[in-house]
Amino acid sequence: MHFETDYANLKAMIAAKGISWQHFDYPTRYHLFAVDGTVVYKTDVYKDGLAPRGEDQGQHNTDRADWEANYQAISNKAIQKHNVDEAILVEVVPARTGLGHNFYTPNVTRPCTWWEQSTVITEAVLTDQGDHLSYAAPDSNIITVQHGRLFREDNILVETPTLAVKVEVQAGGIGGWVEKTERTLANAMTGDYDVAYTTGVITFLSPLDAADNVRASYHKVNGFHFTVAPAPGKLLKVYRAEMQFTEDVDIATIIRYQVWAYNPYDLPNKVNVGETAYKSMSDIVQESIGAYPPIPPLGGTNGFTKAVHIVRFEYPAVLALYSSMGMELRVALDGDVPFGGEFANATIYCVEDDE
């Protein structure tokens, strides 16, 4: 996995992780990088007058002076360990220890599942669509956490109870408000109304009186945000990942996996210290180590109508996220544009341990 960063952040990362400088000296630039297991952090420092258009040549000159004065002489030390006869030493890797902790992104084809950092809407007035059955909220793409569209959505709902849609009716437009019950997977045979989460329309099973008022509280989407971060005092080690897609997926934008950490010059703010951008399916395939056999359409009402393909990523050395350094892995979609198709998400497998 490769993460692009800038010189200052590469320097800070090398110091914090105790890894070694590596470089290539090209006629126009220094290509600087450091290897942490299977993860490569890298940047380019351009020589005088040769920076690409739009980049700050003065900053490149400052970075180059610092690099040549303080780090060039110690760069390009051997990454592998060797014996005196130049044979590579074999190290026994201990068994993975710690508490398993996996993370599951929302479905990037369905904004209604993008719950992280969603916006809370309280007691929004709904508009009768004329039949006293359907009432429209002022927002579309309402977050859903009660219909099986998010893995472990019950846990998410426990942590953030306001994610559940709450609908209240004021009979005759006077007096108190009475909360109604949504039909969900848990009570599909009962309940008072259904929610069309994409459009924001709430439909009652029986018509209301024309004088009734209806209001709702809910969360609406606020862009695609997904974060993998250790708890305070913990170290989170990412060792495996998978991407799952139905065969009709349309990669409509760039998906970015970014490592963020505290900015040592601007605490406690964080800065992007490196990322991998997947612009196409070929990018995903090239970094993967293979795929599982396709899963055919199955599951009926709550299943897939298209075959599902699962692409695997294995990391012999983990990507370590230190809470003391404010490190976290962020998944982002350029422009918050959803993918097309039925389903696409990622599963990130981690082990949590004490720092």
Q: Residue 80: its pLDDT value, please?
A: 47
Residue-level pLDDT at 1: 60
Q: What is the pLDDT of residue 86?
A: 45
CATH of the domain at 60: 3.30.720
If asked whether residues 271 and 329 sit together in one domain, one would say yes
Note whether 350 and 273 are same-domain residues: yes
pLDDT over threshold 70, residue 297: yes
Note whether residue 89 is domain-resident.
no
Q: How many CB atoms lie within 10 A of CB 94?
A: 6
Task: Tell whether 94 is covered by a domain.
Answer: no
- Shared-domain flag, residues 14 and 144: no
Is 247 found in the same domain as 169?
Answer: no
Work out the pLDDT band at 187, boundaries 50, 70, 90.
low
- Percent of the chain exceeding pLDDT 90 equals 59
Query: With 70 as the cut, is the pLDDT of residue 38 above it?
Result: no
Q: What is the CA radius of gyration of the chain?
A: 26
DSSP 327-339: -EEEEEEGGGPPP
The answer on pLDDT for 55 being more than 70 is: yes
Report yes or no: 6 and 60 within 8 Å, Cβ to Cβ: no
Does 277 have pLDDT greater than 90?
yes
In a domain, 147, yes or no: yes
Q: Among the three residues 172, 195, 220, which one is the final residue of a domain in this structure?
A: 220
Pair 289, 324 in one domain: yes
Amino acid present at 94: P
Answer with the residue of higher pLDDT: 136 or 12: 136
* Residue 267 and residue 154 in one domain: no
**pLDDT grade, residue 204 (50/70/90)?**
very high
- Residue-level pLDDT at 92: 44
Q: Does 177 reside within a domain?
A: yes
Q: Is the residue at 42 inside a domain?
A: yes
Amino acid found at 116: E
Q: Is the pLDDT of residue 177 over 60?
A: yes
The verdict on 261 and 308 lying in the same domain is: yes
Arithmetic mean of pLDDT, 273-288: 91
Residues 232 and 341 in one domain: yes
Q: Is residue 86 part of a domain?
A: no
pTM, to two decimals: 0.70
The answer to whether residue 52 sits within a structural domain is yes
Please report whether residue 90 resides in a domain.
no
Residue 185 reports pLDDT greater than 70 = yes
Residue 84 has pLDDT above 50, yes or no: no
Q: Does 34 or 2 have the greater pLDDT score?
A: 34
Return the beta strands (E) in 263-343 as ranges: 270-278, 290-291, 308-322, 328-333
- Domain boundary among the residues 160, 187, 220 is at 220
**pLDDT value, residue 259:** 92
Comparing C-alpha atoms, which of 324, 143, 336, 311 is closest to residue 229?
A: 324
Question: Residue 77's pLDDT band (boundaries 50, 70, 90)?
Answer: low
The answer on 215 and 163 residing in a single domain is yes
* Residue 125 sits in the same domain as residue 156: yes
Q: Over range 87-116, report the average pLDDT.
A: 76
Total of domains in the chain: 3
Strand partners, 135: 128, 202
Residue where one domain finishes, among candidates 220, 255, 285: 220
**Distances from the Cα of 116 to the Cα of 106, 144, 234, 271, angstroms:** 9, 12, 21, 20
Separation between Cα atoms, residue 189 and residue 92, nearest integer Å: 57
199 lies in the same domain as 290: no
Q: Are residues 344 and 206 in the same domain?
A: no
Structural domain of 50: 2-74
- 194: left (phi > 0), else alpha (psi -120 to 50), else beta? beta
Across the chain, mean pLDDT equals: 88
Structure confidence at residue 82 (pLDDT): 43
